[in-house]
Amino acid sequence: MKSSAKIQVVEPEPTPGDTGTAQAIGLSGYKVFNRIVDWITTDRMQLLNITDRVNEIVRKSGVKEGLVHLQTLHTTSALFLSEWQDALLHDTKAFFDDVVDANRYYRHNDPEYSDCERRNADSHMRGMLMGQTLSLQVRNAAVLLGTWQSILFAEFDGPRSRSVAVQVSGI
Amino acid sequence: MKSSAKIQVVEPEPTPGDTGTAQAIGLSGYKVFNRIVDWITTDRMQLLNITDRVNEIVRKSGVKEGLVHLQTLHTTSALFLSEWQDALLHDTKAFFDDVVDANRYYRHNDPEYSDCERRNADSHMRGMLMGQTLSLQVRNAAVLLGTWQSILFAEFDGPRSRSVAVQVSGI
Amino acid sequence: MKSSAKIQVVEPEPTPGDTGTAQAIGLSGYKVFNRIVDWITTDRMQLLNITDRVNEIVRKSGVKEGLVHLQTLHTTSALFLSEWQDALLHDTKAFFDDVVDANRYYRHNDPEYSDCERRNADSHMRGMLMGQTLSLQVRNAAVLLGTWQSILFAEFDGPRSRSVAVQVSGI
């Protein structure tokens, strides 16, 4: 019942700002390439365009056809696709303020019920609503994106140091 | 044009509460391990922490590097990541009540338009909004999760018997 | 560090309405099958049931066990699972109108801040909220779906010509 996979683990040369790198290659050419990428955010709510960073990892992975999976490791942040335009980013943040009311009563912000002192229940609701994972197709050794699609990381409880796990798999 | 994959189908020993088990192994060590896992819910809206159950399946799969894909088979339920804290779970349910108004008029609840007698349009909106699938990375034979991330199953129209399909793939 | 995968690229026979077809097969039988599928929408907000189309592509791919990944290539559209029932589709569109207020002030719709003349900020919010990607399990050469689950494409800024990238991977 145990896997008989022969896995070759390679440690690629480190890149500044990338940590936790590892690569596993199956005998067939199917491979899994793992990285953790870090950012420092500066505002409580902030949107980052991480498209170039993800594409760089896909290129380094050597995967030509397959999937790239992104996962923020923090519950008060999110990953999603949107257009990268200043006016729209402003509207997007206003929408997050509208759809999750920060000033409503939350038990998570009430010392009687919670030992969390960040008073960040709204950040949790936003991270949960927008999603903490994102899968995208890799085609021809690049992330597949429509003309107006960028990969956004949303900080909902900054400023903080944030990590996104990137996994590229395929052939 | 047809696949030339040699697939070895193995039936692992059954585990109480797990059904529909199957495993397919490609020649290369790349493999796909499928399971259906069941829960019985007790409330109309209920949150379950299914992290341990998913990790157990990943361990049994023998996959060391790859993806685990979760899919609830019901439109009035959802899967997502969040922190598992009593106060926050209370707030999360209150948020679902806020963002989807159960008392609004819905055609789905109106016998003139619909033969569904559960009056569960709000449950459908919540399942659709929060998402019925979740992909996570498998690294070192375990589900990758941040310190505060748990895998939550949300029941929006219980009590019911609910099934989640779990697929582990990789090497 | 480079991939040593031998990839055989095959051009399957074209199907009317499908473009951008390609197929890559690893030595092991693991394969990746890519397609772009197009639709013409007729309303500003419109829901399409694309389940049959996706299943047809999965069948053609020859993949028996694995994943099918769907990605709309447009920021003002979305993909998600829901029940396909007339009354519920009506409610779903009303919900999108409620959760994102089209008549609110948006910088994206203001010529002083934006050169976009479509005044479609609400469409962007809806596409971002509902998600532009969807992964589903392939089991026994078919898309795994619960009894009431259909795959929906949501148009939020039609009428338009729209493309969805479909990738089937596995063995």
Name the residue facing C149 among B1, B75, B110 (closest C-beta).
Answer: B75
Name the residue facing B135 among C28, C80, C135 (closest C-beta).
Answer: C135
In angstroms, the first-to-last Cα distance of chain A is 25
pLDDT for the residue numbered A28? 59
Residue in C with minimal Cα distance to B30: C30
Nearest chain A CA: its distance from C58 CA (Å): 15
What's the pLDDT tens digit per position in C22-37?
Answer: 556 554 589 999 999 9
Q: Which of A13-27, A69-83, C128-142, C155-169 has the lowest mean pLDDT?
A: A13-27
- Touching C (3+ Cβ pairs <8 A), the chains are A, B
Sheet of B150-155, strand order: B46-49, B150-155, B77-82
One-letter amino acid identity for C150?
Answer: S
Phi, psi for residue C27 in degrees, rounded to 5: -60, -25
A3 pLDDT band, cuts 50/70/90, is: very low
Residue in C31, B6, C56, C135 with CA at minimum distance from that of residue A65: C31
B91 to A100: CB separation less than 8 angstroms, yes or no: no
Task: Provide ipTM, 2 decimals.
Answer: 0.87
How long, in residues, is chain A? 171
Phi, psi for residue C81 in degrees, rounded to 5: -95, 140
Question: What is the DSSP code string of A52-113?
Answer: HHHHHHHHHHT--SEEEEEEES-TTEEEEEE---HHHHHHHHHHHHHHS-TTS--GGG-TTT
Torsion sign (Cα): C107, C111, C114, C116: positive
Nearest chain B CA: its distance from C115 CA (Å): 30
Cα–Cα distances (Å) from C84 to A93, B130, B151, B165, in that order, read 32, 18, 27, 21
Whether residue C124 is predicted with pLDDT greater than 60 in this model: the reply is yes
CA Rg value for chain A:
18
For chain B, residues with pLDDT lower than 70 are 1-28
At residue C62's C-alpha, the angle toward residues C59 and C64, to 5°, is: 90
Between C20 and C151, the more confident residue is C151
Q: Which of A11-15, A102-106, C105-109 has the lowest mean pLDDT?
A: A11-15
A71 to B147: CB separation less than 8 angstroms, yes or no: no
What mean pLDDT value characterizes chain A? 89
Whether residue A14 is predicted with pLDDT greater than 50 in this model: the reply is no
Per cent of chain C over pLDDT 70 is: 84
The first and second tokens of residue B60, run together, are 């049994």
B146 to A67: CB separation less than 8 angstroms, yes or no: no
Find chain C residues with C-beta within 8 A of B114's C-beta.
85, 87-88
pLDDT for the residue numbered A80? 98
pLDDT for the residue numbered A29? 81
pLDDT for the residue numbered A90? 98
What's the pLDDT tens digit per position in C65-114?
Answer: 999 999 999 999 999 999 999 999 999 999 999 999 999 999 999 999 99
Omega of the bond prior to C159 within 30 degrees of 0, cis?
A: yes
pLDDT for the residue numbered B62? 94
Find chain A residues with C-beta within 8 A of C163's C-beta.
146
Name the residue facing B128 among C64, C92, C98 (closest C-beta).
Answer: C92
Name the residue facing B31 among A3, A107, A131 (closest C-beta).
Answer: A3
Find chain B residues with C-beta within 8 A of A129's C-beta.
99, 129-130
Cα–Cα distances (Å) from B93 to A83, A129, B8, C129, in that order, read 31, 12, 44, 19
Interface test mutation site (partner A, options B132, B148, B171, max chain A beta carbons within 10 A): B171
Q: What are the residues whose beta carbons fall under 8 Å from the beta carbon of A103, sequence distance 6 or more? A: none
What is the rounded CA–CA span in Å between residue A67 and residue C125? 25
pLDDT for the residue numbered C29? 81
Residue in B127, B145, B63 with CA at minimum distance from that of residue C65: B63
The first and second tokens of residue B160, run together, are 């019911």
pLDDT for the residue numbered C3? 37
What is the rounded CA–CA span in Å between residue B45 and residue B59? 30
Name the residue facing A135 among C22, C69, C107 (closest C-beta).
Answer: C69
Please state whether beta strands A18-25 and A31-40 pair in parallel, antiparallel, or not at all (unpaired). antiparallel
User: What is the enclosing helix (H) or strand (E) of B36?
Assistant: strand B31-40
C67 to A62: CB separation less than 8 angstroms, yes or no: no
What is the rounded CA–CA span in Å between residue A99 and residue C88? 22
Whether residue C120 is predicted with pLDDT greater than 70 in this model: the reply is yes
pLDDT for the residue numbered C25? 54
Contact (CB, 8 A) for A169 and A38: no
